[in-house]
Every structure is written in C-alpha cells, then in structure tokens.
A and B are shown apart, each in its own frame.
Chain A
Amino acid sequence: MNKALAERETQTGQKLTFVDCDIHPVPRSPKDLQPYLSARWREHAETFGGHVCQGLVGQLPFPRMMAAGMRADSYPSNGGPPGCDLEMMQRQHLDAYGCEAGFLVALTRSGMDERNLEFGAALAHAINDWQLHDWVAKDNRLKAGIVVPQEYPEFAVAEIDNRAAEHEAFRQIILSPRASEPLGRRKYWPIYEAIERNNLVLGLHPAGLSGGHPTSGTGWGTYYMQEHYGFSSSFAGNVVSLIMEGVFERYPGLKVAMIETGFSWAPSLGWRMDREWERNRKEVPHLRQKPSEYLRQHFWFCTQPMEEPEDPAHLSDIFDWIGWDRMMYSSDYPHWDYDDPRVALNFKMTPAQRAGILRENARALYRLS
C-alpha cells in the first residue's frame, strides 16, 4: 500500500521518523480501570456511574458522521473501541512509520468531566496508573499525560508532584479547556505552580465538559461541525485568559502545548491583543510585555488537524509568525481526522524545518534524550 510514498522515502535516502504529540489510548472496557480503583470507588462506579455535565451520559454530545468519530479502519478485530489495542496501534501507526516517541492524551473516563470531585480524583488517579502499567510499561516510546480534575486543585497538585517523582514517562499535564472558569483564573494557579516546579508541560487538548460549557461562546450549536470549529475559538479564549490574568508573569517557566487546537488563528489573535493592549494597558498593568510576546514565548502548537489553505504556502507565513521551532507534529490516532506523518506537511520547507516539526521541537520541549 502507498508504494509511491514508500518509494519517495527510499529516494530521499531517509527513513521517516517522528515524535507524535497526540495519541489517544482508550480502555477496552471499564473493567480495565478496576485494578487501579479502590474497592470503595469500584463499588461507586458500579452502583452510581459517572455524573458529568451533560445529559447524554456515555455518548458524544454531538453525533459524528461515521465510526463515532474514529478512523473507520481502526476497530480491533478482537473487539473493543479504537485505541484500546496496543498491537494494532503499533501496526497501524507507531511501527508503520517509525515513531520515536508518542504522547498519550487519555480522554475517556479520565475524571475530568466528573462533578463528584472525589470520584473524579479516583478516576484520574486510576487513568494515570493505567497509562503507566498498560501502555508505557509495554511500549516505552509512549509518554504519559497526567490527568487531573482541575476543579480540585489540591488533589491535582499532589497528583502532579507524586507522578513526576514516580516515573520519567510523565511529561505533561492534560487539562480540559472547558473548565468551570477560564484557565487563567486564580483558582487554577496552584496547578501551574506545580507544573513549573516539576519542569513539566501543560498540555491543552479539547477534552471533557467539566465546566458544562459548549466550545462556542454563543451557546450550544446544532452540528458537530460547529463543535469542531469551536475547539479553535475556545482555545483562543483560554490563551487570552492565561495571558491577561498574568499567569506567565507569575510562572515564567510555564510552557503550554496546544494540542488539536488549530494554529492559524494565532497570528491574528496576537495582532488583535497587541492592538487592544496598546490602547488599554492600564487595565492590565501587571503585563510587562506585549500579549503577542507571551504567546510566542510560552506556547507550542501541534499540527493536527493540519490547516489546508487553498495555497499551502500560506502555512509558511503562519509558521514564520508562530516560530518554526514551536510547531510539532501530531497525529490524533485513532480519531477520524488523523494526520499521516508522511503527507501532513505537504508544503515547501527546508529539511531542518521539517525535522524540527517532525521531531526536534518536541524533543526539546519535552526534554527527550
């Protein structure tokens, strides 16, 4: 399959290798987490189940066009949902194209959505154990993302400190961008302090409904296409919040990986913030640089879903603004909008720029050896 692409690799004399900043592991069933839950919370899960901020428990809030939003060819033959089978993940993605390292973003049953904070903490703790024992221990290319219920900062801080000390595979913290308040608010600062203290990365990925908000600022949309577009605008809102509240003045070492957020909006957001800041900066005197400077200094952007302008060369201009050292390849395996590492970066760039996006930038951010 795809012989033409295989030939292209041979002709250039280089085998494709990459670091993938967005891979979704999924439990085969709720039973996968039982070994990592105490008897008290196993019993709670069986008796009550989850209490999340939407009526459609166990369903996607927006129906998707096929395969529940998964790659239709990623269902394991031995049952279970896409993303539950390491062997299939290796065959379809990790081994197929030469993955050096892959960052797990665990969205399912992660506790981020749970209104019962103690249960949410137990689920997050279980998901973190499960990532380590069921994934990292079986394929050490995989790196884990610590999941925490961000409405419970006391637990989150302890979990971050403990996991960072426990295993080097824990390289970042995954927070939902749809928290009960914008992410720059003070209640979340202890989490940022713990991330900075442990020299980890804050990973933001569309996840959870923990605050009960739609992705849009205008209320609940009708179509999945609205939700999907809204990922970008809701992230832009959180970027503005983190910058304007002064998070990066307080935590200058905080680094944020923007995962599946889109990126072509970043330059126009920077221009707009700077323009308003020049006129209104008395309102936010705690900011000591232009808002766009915080954006360039503290944020890294993942490529998937790759923007597809009519003229692919326009992506070059956007990368120029964000910084070629700030763009990182991501696949989103096994979701339907998966980006293949061989074809995702299909516009003109130098070999060094390509290597940076495919590998080097993520290696540097996450301190991979």
Chain B
Amino acid sequence: MSRYVVGRAADVAPGTSKLVTAKGRELGIFNVGGKFYALANRCPHKGGPLCFGRITGLAQSNGPGEYRYIRPGEFLRCPWHGWEFEIATGQSYCDPKTMRIREFEVAVAPGAEVVKGPYIAENFPVSVEEDYLVVEI
C-alpha cells in the first residue's frame, strides 16, 4: 500500500465529491457527513464512470403502498445502468452478494506530514494550515 495525496479536505464539502487520479487510477473522493471515502471510478457491473453518478438515498418499502426514503446522501448511483452503491463500504444495494466496488482507505493527515514528497509540491498548494486528503492504494 502506498499513500497518495489527492487534494485538500476543505475542497470536498459534505455531500459532494471530487474526481482525482492516484497511482494512475481515477478515484472519486466523497464527503458523506464529514467522513471521507474513495471509490474507484469504474463500475464493477459494466465499467461505467461510476463517480460521475448522482449521490442519492434508498427508496425502501415493506409492501405495496408503503414507501420510505432513507439515508439520503449515502449512496451513489452509476450514471449508466443505475446500480446503487453504499459510498462508505462500496457495497451494492441491489445484489450485495455479487457486486462490490473496490474501496480505498482515505485518511485526513496533517499538512506538514505530506508536503515532504515531490508529489504534493507538484500538484497541490502547500499550506501547513490546511489538511490534505491522503488515499492509500
């Protein structure tokens, strides 16, 4: 596992996402209620650019005529075929047994810790005041 700095935490507001590249891979960084998650930008179903999808919740029902919309903002819907994945775990909702997207750990590290590498200087503004997003791949 390697650690990659992919942006500033402050640039990804709660409820939004940012597409980044790390180790040659495109990743979406998501802020769900202040917690950060990274997902590969490739849907395991048919290869769609997953991270361009809409952030959504789940429509659930206990039976005809009963509907509940729950956990808004915690799921991601693929822009092609509409598969929905829990952002926190990469777990698909529709068929949890077979569909799981690759998930990468995201940590928020103090700025001073990551500005040491050339990677950061090249791609991101250096500021010891801000915290940077680091992805482990």
Per DSSP, chain B at the interface is loop
Nearest residue (CB) in B for A337 is B81
**Number of A residues contacting the other chain (C-beta, 8 Å)?**
19
Chain A residue contacts of B54, Cβ below 8 A: 66, 72
Chain B residue contacts of A2, Cβ below 8 A: 42, 47
Chain A residue contacts of B46, Cβ below 8 A: 339-340, 343-344
Chain A residue contacts of B15, Cβ below 8 A: none
A71 touches B79 (CB 8 A): yes
- The answer to the question of A336 belonging to the interface, with a C-beta cut-off of 8 Å to chain B, is yes
CA of A72 to CA of B25 in the docked complex: distance in angstroms? Answer: 21
25 A-B residue pairs with Cβ-Cβ distance under 8 Å, sorted by A, are: A1-B26, A1-B41, A1-B42, A1-B49, A2-B42, A3-B25, A5-B47, A65-B82, A66-B54, A66-B77, A67-B79, A71-B79, A71-B80, A72-B52, A72-B53, A72-B54, A72-B80, A73-B52, A338-B48, A338-B81, A339-B46, A340-B46, A340-B47, A340-B48, A343-B46
- The answer to the question of A115 belonging to the interface, with a C-beta cut-off of 8 Å to chain B, is no
- The answer to the question of B24 belonging to the interface, with a C-beta cut-off of 8 Å to chain A, is yes
CA of A343 to CA of B44 in the docked complex: distance in angstroms? Answer: 10
Say how far A149's CB is from chain B's closest CB, in angstroms: 32
Chain B residue contacts of A1, Cβ below 8 A: 26, 41-42, 49
**Which of B46, B49, B82 has the largest number of chain A CB atoms within 10 A?**
B46
Which residues 1-56 of A have a CB within 8 angstroms of B?
1-5
**Number of B residues contacting the other chain (C-beta, 8 Å)?**
17
Chain B residue contacts of A71, Cβ below 8 A: 48, 79-80
CA of A2 to CA of B46 in the docked complex: distance in angstroms? Answer: 11
- The answer to the question of A93 belonging to the interface, with a C-beta cut-off of 8 Å to chain B, is no
Interface code B47-89, partner A: CB below 8 Å = 1, 0 otherwise?
Answer: 1110011100000000000000000000001011110000000
A338 touches B41 (CB 8 A): no
Pairs A-B, 3 closest by C-beta atoms: A72-B79, A73-B79, A73-B52
Say how far A122's CB is from chain B's closest CB, in angstroms: 36
Known: A336-B82, A338-B80. 9 other contacts (CB 8 A): A1-B41, A1-B42, A3-B24, A66-B82, A67-B79, A72-B52, A73-B52, A73-B79, A338-B48
Nearest residue (CB) in B for A344 is B46
Nearest residue (CB) in A for B53 is A72
**Which of B47, B49, B77, B81 has the largest number of chain A CB atoms within 10 A?**
B47
Of A65, A73, A336, the residue contacting B49 (CB under 8 A) is A73
CA of A2 to CA of B24 in the docked complex: distance in angstroms? Answer: 10
Say how far A2's CB is from chain B's closest CB, in angstroms: 6
CA of A343 to CA of B49 in the docked complex: distance in angstroms? Answer: 13
Chain B residue contacts of A339, Cβ below 8 A: 46
Of B47, B52, B82, the residue contacting A343 (CB under 8 A) is B47
- The answer to the question of A342 belonging to the interface, with a C-beta cut-off of 8 Å to chain B, is yes
Chain B residue contacts of A66, Cβ below 8 A: 54, 77, 79, 82
CA of A65 to CA of B54 in the docked complex: distance in angstroms? Answer: 11
Nearest residue (CB) in A for B41 is A1
Nearest residue (CB) in A for B82 is A65
Say how far A340's CB is from chain B's closest CB, in angstroms: 5
CA of A337 to CA of B82 in the docked complex: distance in angstroms? Answer: 9
Chain B residue contacts of A5, Cβ below 8 A: 47
CA of A5 to CA of B25 in the docked complex: distance in angstroms? Answer: 12
CA of A72 to CA of B81 in the docked complex: distance in angstroms? Answer: 9
Say how far B17's CB is from chain A's closest CB, in angstroms: 14
Chain A residue contacts of B26, Cβ below 8 A: 1
Say how far A249's CB is from chain B's closest CB, in angstroms: 41
**Which of B26, B49, B80 has the largest number of chain A CB atoms within 10 A?**
B80
